[in-house]
Amino acid sequence: MVAYPFATGAVIEGFRLDAQLDPGGMANFWRVSRADFDFPMVMKVPLLRRGEDPITIVGFEVEQMILPRLTGPHVPRFVAAGDFERPYIVMEYVAGVPVKSYLAKTPLPTDDVAEIGAKIAFALHEVHRQHVIHLDLKPSNVILRENGEAVLIDFGLSRHDQLPDLVGEEFDDPVGTGPYVAPEQVLRDRGDPRSDVFALGVILYFLATGERPFGEPQTAAEWKQRLWRDPAPPRLWNKQVPPWLQEVILRCLEVDPNARYASAAQLAFDLQHPDAVALTARAERAERDGALTVFKRWMRARKAQPRRRRRLSGILARAPIVMVAIDLASDAEPLSEALAEAVRRTLVTQPSARLACVNVLKTSLVALDPVEDASGRNPHLQRLIELKHWARVFSIEESRMTYHVIESPDPAAAIVDYARNTRVDHIVIGARSSSTLRRYLGSVSAKVVAEAPCTVTVVRTPPLVSGRPEPSAA
């Protein structure tokens, strides 16, 4: 291994070492610069001294493989890397606030917990979509940029769905950071993105209560207890935690991954829409589970085996957020029925999908519309009632369906913005019959198709066939 002169002012592979930063548990860090790069950078140098934990070596190799494949604002930009003769990784230096800095201020107000949690969840979702499960999510591995976006760092324990799992192949025991390790990780199952949802649930719990749900276990034997022992409900620690937030946190911390949120995007959705969170018995829990329930879990845990690994892309594909934009006008009934049929087919093929039923209440650009219509009814509330009536035909769990009335002078822009802000995967929207005016001004559905950040299905009602309109999707 080449012995580099790590000192301020030294030049390594063209990178000038400008200042040493605080060291990490498995690496040293230096601020570096090079004339051909115009953004701040950091060099990460793994600690490869004699007797060092072998996870340091494997983690360096894993991060060296994964980081160059990741893109977007939620990860540091990769710049360069050396080999084991010249061990280093150079990446973007992310200026911002580590989530770890909030721990000294806990418990945080509910709005702050939800806002931070949603930002982390969106970052996780984007990383998951790039075939990576972080598997070491914790406050010190999340930085909030100055613009508020969350950045995930330290991918040394991560799993890329399309690369060899070096950590899983090298170590017989589970690896990770004790308080944040998911139950399936204890069983050496490293292939489920909902492990990151569990870890984010631990972070939310800590931010909301100032306590860790499972303490600070140090050994794999201690980690294993979370296979049968549930955490104390957050409201036991902090009475200010609202029922909806306790519902969200405890759902993240379920032992069975199938009982958690199906994706990080669905978790972010609930954190952004607390009024739409479907409350269950979790929301009102006032104590931990009783001895009999814990004993039954312990018996099951004795026989538990890692599940057969599934492709990450397949897991996410079965858990999309589907948005249906509904026209509630009285003359749109045939189109409304065709829209419902298209949504029903989508839900059949995607059983873990989240459905957001959306209607846009068009407002004036000049002045605020009246709170009540000519009949003395609140139009916003009336639209919500009509949305729920429209959606009554779908036989899915209450927790998977929400209703939203958006007030905007531009329906197409409102639909696109909603889809972008909530990471919608699929928009289903109806298109009315063509007319000269609609061709001249442009239809809402055409604008949505042109600008949406996701797949769009446009539903139309064709001419009458045998006296009945047959719905079709275009």
Gap between the Cα atoms of 386 and 390, Å rounded: 6
Integer angstrom CA distances of residue 107 from 200, 205, 255, 295: 16, 9, 24, 32
Q: Taking Cα atoms as reference points, which of 19, 70, 69, 75 lies closest to residue 43? A: 19
Q: Is the dihedral of CA 418, 252, 151, 169 positive or negative?
A: negative
Q: Maximum distance among all alpha carbons in the chain?
A: 84
Integer angstrom CA distances of residue 357 from 27, 247, 335, 360: 48, 22, 15, 10
Give the CA dihedral 130, 131, 137, 141, nearest 10 degrees: -40
Contact 234/241 with Cβ under 8 angstroms? yes
Residues ≥6 apart with Cβ < 8 Å to 256: none
Residue length of the chain: 474
N- to C-terminal Cα separation, the chain: 61
Q: Which of 18, 22, 53, 136 is catalytic?
A: 136
Residues ≥6 apart with Cβ < 8 Å to 312: 128, 131, 132, 133, 161, 191, 193
User: Is 136 part of the annotated catalytic residue set?
Assistant: yes
What three-state secondary structure class fits 16? Answer: strand
Residues ≥6 apart with Cβ < 8 Å to 362: 408, 409, 411
Strand partners, 62: none
Q: Taking Cα atoms as reference points, which of 172, 170, 165 lies closest to residue 188? A: 172
Gap between the Cα atoms of 33 and 79, Å rounded: 11
Give the CA dihedral 387, 392, 394, 397, nearest 10 degrees: 90
DSSP H or E run through 421: helix 411-421
What three-state secondary structure class fits 334? Answer: helix
Percentages (nearest 5) of helix, strand, coil residues in the chain = 40, 15, 40
What three-state secondary structure class fits 60? Answer: helix
Gap between the Cα atoms of 404 and 384, Å rounded: 7
Task: Please give the positions annotated as active site.
Answer: 136
